[in-house]
Amino acid sequence: PVADKRPALLPTTPTGIARAGELLRAGKLVAFPTETVYGLGGDATDDRAVAAIFAAKGRPQFNPLIAHLPDLAAAQSWALFDERALELAHQFWPGPLTMVLPRPANSALSLLVSAGLDSVAIRVPGHPVAQALLRAAGRPIAAPSANRSGAVSPTTPHHVLESLGDRVDAVVTGGKCAVGLESTVIDLTGPEPVVLRPGAVLPEEMERLIGPVRMSAGDPTAPKAPGQLESHYAPNAAVRLNAKSAEEGEALLTFGPDRFVFGGTARLNLSPQGDLNEAAANLFSHLRQLDQSGAPRIAVMAIPDEGLGVAINDRLRRAAAPRS
């Protein structure tokens, strides 16, 4: 008989979480909610589980993964924390911040997690289900966003199933992710802290604690030519930015009051009140919905490039970047 390969749907009850923890310890892949996006989890100390994550996502092997731990104490076994890292951990963990730190010598973490680098990205998520699952698993869990590589990140269990289908062994079915954008990634391996990916923890908030923070070359405030942007977070439809109205055949994604923004074969508003937190939480699910309308292109109104808008615009620019 052919085994039923559909993923197990596990509720966020103690029993469901205990089962998810068992599956992770057995080397299986379990998608689970965090406050940012759903993660595709696997045991970060198990080379086969980590390799299975790369395979399920269709992800280039050179792109390293984040190891998730339930608290700073647990995280300190897997990375070397200097004063700056401790300051940031105390202020922003648990929460949507990932720190790239030196890997200790003889670390039992799979080398695949670091993709051959001598650093490791560590995050302590704040979502209660993620917290409970990490404690149940009792080991670091590697978890990229639970979608096929390059596609739109998942913010609901339904998105995970749409994107990964039977490539995942189980999905912990929490609700919609509150933040909706991946964590801020800050590299602390050099003398100067560098933000590698903007997110809900803002550079100015970190600067108050650790001094000047540089945005990486992919910095949306210092845009490269569009052709140099890596295509990512991309729906099937093409994406056109800074639209004032929709052109013939386009779907339309608006922000703020949009009574005088015209057209759209399908249209959704990220936040009618113009709230950037709400817009971030809606971004990926709205892109998916407009994509499913079948429109060949999605026109997107300008989003203010301040605060969380920087992270939203980073994702939108990558969604609009030329596809290879």
Q: Convert residues 3-42 into a mask of x (bound to ligand TXA by CB under 6 A) and - (unbound).
A: -------------------------------x-xx-x---
* Using rule CB under 6 A, residue 182 touches ligand TXA: yes
Interior/surface letters 252-290, b for 16+ CB within 10 angstroms, e for the rest? bbbbbebeebeebbbbbbbbeeeebebbbbbbbbbbbeb
14: preceding bond cis by omega (within 30 degrees): no
User: Which one of Mg ion, ligand TXA, none interacts with residue 120, CB within 5 to 8 A by kind?
Assistant: ligand TXA
Region at 283 (left for phi over 0; alpha for psi -120 to 50; beta for the rest): alpha
- Does 119 count as an annotated binding residue? no
User: Which one of ligand TXA, Mg ion, none interacts with residue 65, CB within 5 to 8 A by kind?
Assistant: ligand TXA
- Alpha-carbon distance of 8 to 6, in angstroms, equals 7
- Alpha-carbon distance of 244 to 242, in angstroms, equals 6
CB of 183 to ligand TXA, least distance (A): 4
* Using rule CB under 6 A, residue 185 touches ligand TXA: yes
Contacts of 278 (CB under 8 A, 6+ apart): 270, 271
Closer residue to ligand TXA, CB minimum distance, 144 or 264: 144
The token pair that represents 185 in the structure block: 């990634």
* Using rule CB under 5 A, residue 34 touches Mg ion: no
Query: What secondary structure does DSSP assign to 278-303, as a single string?
Result: HHHHHHHHHHHHHHHTT-SEEEE---
Closer residue to ligand TXA, CB minimum distance, 37 or 261: 37
- Does 20 count as an annotated binding residue? no
Tell me how many residues contact ligand TXA (CB under 6 A): 26
Region at 27 (left for phi over 0; alpha for psi -120 to 50; beta for the rest): left
CB of 184 to Mg ion, least distance (A): 14
Closer residue to ligand TXA, CB minimum distance, 25 or 59: 59
Q: For the chain, how many residues are written?
A: 324
Q: Convert residues 140-159 into a mask of x (bound to Mg ion by CB under 5 A) and - (unbound).
A: -----x--------------
Q: Are 193 and 175 in contact (CB under 8 A)?
A: no
Q: What is the contact surface with Mg ion in residues (CB under 5 A)?
A: 145
Q: What is the contact surface with ligand TXA in residues (CB under 6 A)?
A: 34, 36-37, 39, 63-66, 98, 100, 114, 117, 119-121, 123, 125, 143-145, 182-183, 185, 187, 196-197
